[in-house]
Amino acid sequence: MAVTAPLSVDAARAEVERAVAAARGAANVRCAFWQSHNGCSTATPDLPHTHLSGERELVEELRAVRFRISPNSFFQVNTRAADELGGVLERLVLEISARAQVTLVDVCCGAGAWGLCLARTVRSVIGVEMCADAVQDARRNAEENGVTNATFVCGKAEDVLDKVLRNVHGSECIAIVDPPRAGLHVSVLKALRACEKLRHVIYVSCNPMSFVEDAEKLCYAPSKSYRGEPFRPMRAIPVDLFPDTSHCELVVHMVRMPLAQPSVPVAASA
């Protein structure tokens, strides 16, 4: 998806074609879309887009699950490395779900990647996503892969997560949060803290600075703003999702613990 300041379709096509031609030697460009954005902030997924060339949707595979991805849906940029990241998440969830029938809440779920990959390891999956196109993709991907224990809610996480968590059935709940670089909205953090059934949070972070800010709020002692027992980071696992850059995806497993229980040092896994 190429995002530009307002241009005519012809001018946008010319710009994108030049970019595609320049990238052909280093990348397999399968499709090109153009989105016009009149502003300084990041373009929002509900802006209209124009198909310029190639396929109209991508098909990728993670953990033996096939995904159809429309232009506005979020999906990990490095599919091969994301498959390794999915393996890390699967091992963590299996350790938890082996002890109880759990519900997995996939926050910022995009096209359903993590929830659908992990559906076979838990009782049920609830995905939360603000982009309507991504939710439509997630529901279609669940149907085409024969996943019957996953549902998806369209809405901003800060608006719907509290209700989703209150309606969770079962003895225990796991949340996977995979937010954008800005991190989680404060209302999402408060909802995670307040849900007593939620004993585990698996945080997938692409920005260590916003993760630290969010982790502080999840680990605060209880207060009027942050109800519920705090979480404690138990394990941190880096995944090199962006080779040849300084960036690294970080998976942190956080467990809710009574305040009287002593803290356990974080274990870093290779």
- Which residues pair with residue 106 across a beta bridge? 127, 176
Using a 10 angstrom Cβ sphere, with 0-12 exposed, 13-18 middle and 19 or more buried, the burial of residue 263 is exposed
The DSSP line for 196-262 is TTEEEEEEEES-HHHHHHHHHHHHSPP-SSS-SPPEEEEEEEEE--STTSS--EEEEEEEE--TTSP
For residue 158, the tally of other CB atoms under 10 A from its CB is 16
Nearest to 256 by CA among 162, 174, 171: 174
Q: Do residues 257 and 210 touch, judged by C-beta distance below 8 A?
A: no
Give me 81's structure tokens.
Answer: 């490395």
Give me 248's structure tokens.
Answer: 């690294």
End-to-end CA distance of the chain: 33
> What is the pTM for the complete model shown?
0.81
The one catalytic residue in 108, 129, 131, 249 is 249
Strand 267-268 to 198-205 pairing: unpaired
- pLDDT tens over the chain, length 270 residues: 555 555 666 776 676 677 666 655 545 666 666 666 665 445 455 566 666 666 667 788 999 999 998 877 778 888 899 999 999 999 999 998 876 689 999 999 999 999 999 999 999 999 999 999 999 999 999 999 999 999 999 999 999 999 999 888 766 899 999 999 899 999 999 999 999 889 999 999 999 999 999 999 999 898 888 888 999 999 999 999 888 888 889 999 999 987 655 555 555 555
What counts of helices (H) and strands (E) characterise the chain?
7, 13
Nearest to 10 by CA among 30, 36, 40: 36
Q: What is residue 144's predicted lDDT score, i.e. its pLDDT? A: 96
C-alpha dihedral sign at 84, 89, 95, 101: negative
Q: What is residue 9's predicted lDDT score, i.e. its pLDDT? A: 65
Using a 10 angstrom Cβ sphere, with 0-12 exposed, 13-18 middle and 19 or more buried, the burial of residue 137 is buried
Give me 239's structure tokens.
Answer: 């995944």
| Residues contacting 55, CB < 8 A, separation 6+ | 30, 31
Is 206 one of the catalytic residues?
yes
Q: Do residues 227 and 68 touch, judged by C-beta distance below 8 A?
A: no
Residues in the chain: 270
Is 95 one of the catalytic residues?
no
Give me 185's structure tokens.
Answer: 């909205």
The one catalytic residue in 109, 117, 131, 206 is 206
